[in-house]
Structure 1
């Protein structure tokens, strides 16, 4: 195992939320992993496409980032997701992960 330099190897009990919902035009199924790693940003996984990203409330201010992360062409669909994530993501103060 000398080929790899281990950067981290952490275990924790995480809260995971699975949520499915529809808008006027689209169905969504997400898994949200709430973790203390990654600066407290939850890992958001689209269960339909397998695309995932780390999100926090500040990321929701950038519609282009949401469109890019989940490869959404339609701006209204991205706006709908942002509205959902505003209620689903915790507001956490920034805490340094690496010291």
Structure 2
């Protein structure tokens, strides 16, 4: 077997917030990971759908982004967007 070629192999302490809230149509169970690795953006894991994204304010302002990444309808995406804007 060939020697493994690593692009990077770093360890970092992170801060993780677990939050669950009920929207109009669905429950959101999120893990929000703050790290210095992604240019100030946060890793947002939706544990209900097994989807995640690296999100910053610019991503929240992008039309259709949350709908696409988390496979949400407009109403559910707006609830998630509202929550994330409050915490960023």
TM-score calculated relative to the size of structure 1? 0.81
Structure 2: gaps (5+ residues): none
Deviation track 1:52-77 (CA, whole Å, cap 9, x = no partner) reads 000001110123111111011x2111
TM-score calculated relative to the size of structure 2? 0.90
Root-mean-square deviation (CA, aligned residues, Å) is 1.4
The answer (yes or no) to whether the contact 2:24–2:76 under 8 Å persists in 1 is no
Number of the residue aligned with 1:57: 57
Aligned length: 88
1:4: how far off?
Answer: 3.4
1:1-99 to 2 correspondence within 5 Å?
Answer: 2-72=2-72, 74-89=73-88
The answer (yes or no) to whether the contact 1:63–1:79 under 8 Å persists in 2 is no
Structure 1: gaps (5+ residues): 90-99
